[in-house]
Structure 1
Amino acid sequence: MSDASDKFKHKAEEAVGAAKEKTGQVTGNERLEAEGRGDQAESQAKQTVDELKDKAKEGIDKIKGAFKR
């Protein structure tokens, strides 16, 4: 299961990416804008993995619970 610090870290990375993208747009810096989009995509992928880990743990816990009955 993903811990809260990882989830917070990944959300923060997404916010930093959004800030980079916006700064790149405002300043006309295409490299910074692209880097920001890349950071956001990477962070979103990490968040998806976190969610999948949580769902897998929930499923495993349900299976364990069924065998305890």
Structure 2
Amino acid sequence: MQMIKKAAISLAALSVVAAPVAASAASGLRAASNAPGASKLEGNSSWIIGLIGLLAGITAIVLVAEDDEDSPVSP
């Protein structure tokens, strides 16, 4: 039961994070300005999105695989 609860919480957190990204990608509208040379931060940032996804996946696996059963300890 605990594992199902943790999976549901992880799925809810993922949907909260992914909803704005999916909405902005689906709109198709983009405000653009033509200012050549105004920014030197141009480039491909898809690796950042991949890194965030990887970290979210690892976090979800750790939460689901965590062992919550406490062993009895006798003095």
Length-normalised TM-score, structure 2: 0.42
Q: Which has the larger radius of gyration?
A: 2
